[in-house]
Structure 1
Amino acid sequence: MRFAGRVALITGAGSGIGRACALRLAAEGAAVVIADVNARSAEETARLVTKEHGSALAVPADVSDEPAVRSMMTRTLEAFGRLDVLHNNAAVLSRDVYGRDLDLTDMDVDVWDRTFQVSLRGAMLCVKHAVPHMGPGAAIVNTSSVSALVGDTDHAAYGSAKAALVSFTRYVATMYGDRGIRCNAIAPGLVLTDIARHVMTTDMLAEKAAERLLPDPCEPEDVAALVAFLASSEARCITGQTIVIDGGTTAHRPEHAIRKASALDPWAACGRDGRPGHTPPSGRYLR
């Protein structure tokens, strides 16, 4: 019961990682405030928390809107009288925003702006209105992404916003460390949320499996375990850090995934002269 007597506010907690984190912190004794732009989803998470563990409050809120964030903090304090953990987890993954975050030359600037409004501005507003009510031993956890650490052929807005969140984490840790408030970020890779299971094909899942070093994909509960650790006193000496949780996806060179997916000698995928299928006599590859 690491969070007995403590209060945690989690944004984007209506589903996926946020819901798993709410359930995990509540299971360890926290009273949990469930914030989500989708009121029905927030209520459902709160119902699950109350049914299984204890106290929960659902608060519909768009974290990019400052009056909404101010109201969310007021309701948290009115209900529970304190705030010990803030998990900035909200992000835009909808089809009309994330689904249109493709080639930059064709991007609607509103897609870029909305992505940053929720992921970065939202985190800033929550910190702005939460920190004055947080004391020594309090913790802030920001949900970034491995997309912040690597490049890709799409989702530049999402990856850039998440990268900015990594830097923001360091600034918050530096600004409020002398108050005993810690701030860290997590950077998940693929997490098999309900949405991910719905949209990903068998081939897509196989590609992701080839990229990982570990055999099993991450589940929301795996991320929740990391968030609970970072928010707890067991991590009291950890601040300003970004912890990657991706099954080893970003821990190796791309050739690992290429070899694993093709089941060929490394040189067979791309030969010494750059032509696929050209295998040198040595059968070795450059390091």
Structure 2
Amino acid sequence: MPRRVPAQTQRRQPGLQHRMTPAPVVIGEGYRGSGKLAGKVALISGGDSGIGRSVAVHFAREGADVAFLYLDEHEDAAETVRLIEAEGQRALGLSGDVGDAKTCRRAVKDTVKKLGRLDVLVNNAAEQHPQDSLLDITPEQLERTFRTNVFGMFYLTQAALPHLEAGASIINTTSVTAYRGSDTLLDYSSTKGAQVSFTRSLSANLASKGVRVNAVAPGPIWTPLIPSTFDAERVAEHGANVPLERPGQPAEVAPAYVYLASADSSYVSGQVLHVNGGEVVNG
């Protein structure tokens, strides 16, 4: 895996995967599916690119049909559909704002109507806007970040819950910043801490129903969120400060979601898997 990425930046968020150099690795050449998710249906927010796309393709290789919700990155979404279908599975791309409750209800309704059921929910969509000072975070930015990262997670889970039966799995994408913080991502880190608490609380709430709730806390992964968040100089140093001294690829994170979605993790709930390049965090 490359230890550095070229300096680059994008002027819009969400970022666009088809404009990244090099392109993120979606699935490793040696990854072989073994039917771990055969017959299941998954819904992934932010599934058009980055970690979400990689999870979608890994799920498809394991036998799942996959629906995904994305904002307006239509070219990236079309490629994700192509990759899922190339694995021999059904794909459904759904455009809309995850921070809107009606959009989330529609996404779940369309998933169940067109794919027949819902077994795995991945709350992955997120945005971040760095600021040097707490005083620079406007009410508009604060609400926008929480609406996407936290409200969207609540709305989509609420919509999905009536369709999840015993054996179903909910997986939330939190972050290493929930554990060590970030001096320039104050609001984003706060949302990621909220996602950890949500994961632990909902896992207890749903235990008697046989629905497991877990999370993954990625470190510096090479996704469109990076060039769309930081300046070119910061992007070129992405991942340099972790023990493995490089950014991770989405393909190196997605197998953690396969584990949490499958029966392999049948005795795991309320937990967070740390895929972060060797950074040791507590909790």
Q: Is 1:34 matched up with 2:71?
A: no
The CA distance in 1 between the partners of 2:134 and 2:145, in whole Å, is 14
Pairing partner for 1:217 from 230, 241, 247: 247
Whether contact under 8 Å (1:21, 1:228) holds in the other structure is: yes
Pairing partner for 1:157 from 187, 190, 194: 187
Moved runs in structure 1, 4+ residues, more than 3 A?
194-208
Pairing partner for 1:81 from 113, 116, 131: 116
Range with greater deviation from structure 2 (194-203 or 221-230): 194-203
Q: How does 1:118-197 map to 2 (within 5 A)?
A: 118-196=148-226
The CA distance in 1 between the partners of 2:36 and 2:177, in whole Å, is 31
The amino acid of 1:138's aligned partner reads A
| CA positional deviation for 1:207 | 7.1
The amino acid of 2:43's aligned partner reads L
Aligned partner of 1:279 in structure 2 is none
| CA positional deviation for 1:194 | 4.7
The amino acid of 2:58's aligned partner reads R
SS in 2 for 1:10: strand
Aligned partner of 2:276 in structure 1 is 246
| CA positional deviation for 1:200 | 6.7
The amino acid of 1:249's aligned partner reads E
Range with greater deviation from structure 2 (136-145 or 46-55): 46-55
The CA distance in 1 between the partners of 2:200 and 2:238, in whole Å, is 33
Question: Can you give the 5+ residue segments of structure 1 that lack an aligned partner in the other structure?
Answer: 253-287
The CA distance in 2 between the partners of 1:203 and 1:38, in whole Å, is 26
| CA positional deviation for 1:92 | 1.6
| Identity, % of aligned positions | 36
Change (3 A) 1:81 1:155: same
Pairing partner for 1:60 from 95, 117, 131: 95
Output one character per residue of 1:221-250: Cα deviation in whole Å (capped at 9) or x when no partner.
111111111111100111001121111124
The CA distance in 2 between the partners of 1:186 and 1:166, in whole Å, is 9
The amino acid of 1:44's aligned partner reads E
| CA positional deviation for 1:56 | 0.4
The CA distance in 2 between the partners of 1:39 and 1:18, in whole Å, is 13
Output one character per residue of 1:117-164: Cα deviation in whole Å (capped at 9) or x when no partner.
111111111111111101111000000001111132211000000100
Output one character per residue of 1:32-58: Cα deviation in whole Å (capped at 9) or x when no partner.
002101250323311221134321011
Whether contact under 8 Å (1:8, 1:85) holds in the other structure is: yes
The CA distance in 1 between the partners of 2:201 and 2:194, in whole Å, is 11
| CA positional deviation for 1:112 | 0.8
Change (3 A) 1:248 1:177: same
| CA positional deviation for 1:60 | 0.8
Q: TM-score, normalised by structure 2?
A: 0.81
Aligned partner of 2:5 in structure 1 is none
Whether contact under 8 Å (1:12, 1:91) holds in the other structure is: yes
The CA distance in 2 between the partners of 1:119 and 1:195, in whole Å, is 13
Question: Can you give the 5+ residue segments of structure 2 that lack an aligned partner in the other structure?
Answer: 1-34
| CA positional deviation for 1:204 | 5.8
* Aligned residue-pair number: 246
Output one character per residue of 1:94-135: Cα deviation in whole Å (capped at 9) or x when no partner.
xxxx25x44111221111111111111111111111111011
Aligned partner of 2:140 in structure 1 is 110
Whether contact under 8 Å (1:102, 1:156) holds in the other structure is: no
The CA distance in 1 between the partners of 2:170 and 2:217, in whole Å, is 14
Q: Is 1:9 matched up with 2:57?
A: no
Change (3 A) 1:78 1:104: same
Q: Is 1:70 matched up with 2:100?
A: no
The CA distance in 2 between the partners of 1:245 and 1:172, in whole Å, is 22
Q: TM-score, normalised by structure 1?
A: 0.80
